[in-house]
Amino acid sequence: MKSVALVLGCAASVMAAMFGCSREDGGPPRVPVIVTVTHNGSPVQEAHITFVPKGDGQAAYGVTGADGKTELSTLGENDGAMPGDYQVMVRKTETEGPERQFNSTETGAMPAGAEAMKSAQTRNLLPAKYSAIGTTDLQATVAADGKNEFSFDLTD
């Protein structure tokens, strides 16, 4: 049984190497893009970055790590962005409010009481102007060749 699992695991690795990691996936050409986000000089963890193309193309996205950095993805994980001009949105939110937990044995039951009727509230942890295409002033041009590293310091 272990040998079957080993063979299947090896086959899956080979298939991933051949198909999953290749840029020859039939999609549009993409190039690596690294984005760093800071807020008033400090790295922002878990910021959601979206590169929205100004013309034709597809959006690219990423979520920053503890160092405020992310690699963009378009069609697959960390596959980069299509060359072109982009508007950039950055959002980090937090949801506050009652956690709605239902007892799985009470199918169809709703929680009772005023606390249960409150809805969760979402608030921006970064300046709201960066979170919408109509208000963000962040822009980037992704080049077909060369380094595509962008840093955005969001200020209040």
Angle at 150 between CA 122 and CA 140, to 5 degrees: 85
Q: Which among 54, 55, 138 has a CA at the least distance from the CA of 91?
A: 138
**Rounded Cα distance, 46 and 48, in Å:** 6
Mean pLDDT of 82-89: 98
Which three-class secondary structure string do you get for 82-134?
A: CCEEEEEEEECEEEECCCCCCCCCCCCCCCCCHHHHCCCEEEECCCHHHHCCC
Q: State residue 99's pLDDT score.
A: 58
Q: How confident is the model at residue 108 (pLDDT cuts 50, 70, 90)?
A: low
- Higher pLDDT: 59 or 17? It is 59
Residue-wise pLDDT tens digits, 38-61: 999 999 999 999 999 999 999 999
Which pLDDT belongs to residue 8?
37
pLDDT tens for each residue of 18-27: 333 344 678 9
What SS3 class is residue 79? coil
Q: Give 117's pLDDT tier (boundaries 50, 70, 90).
A: low
Nearest to 126 by CA among 85, 95, 155: 155
Domains of the chain (ranges plus CATH)?
Answer: 30-96+118-154 (2.60.40.1120)
Provide the percentage of residues in the chain whose pLDDT is more than 70.
71
Contact 71, 62 (CB under 8 A): yes
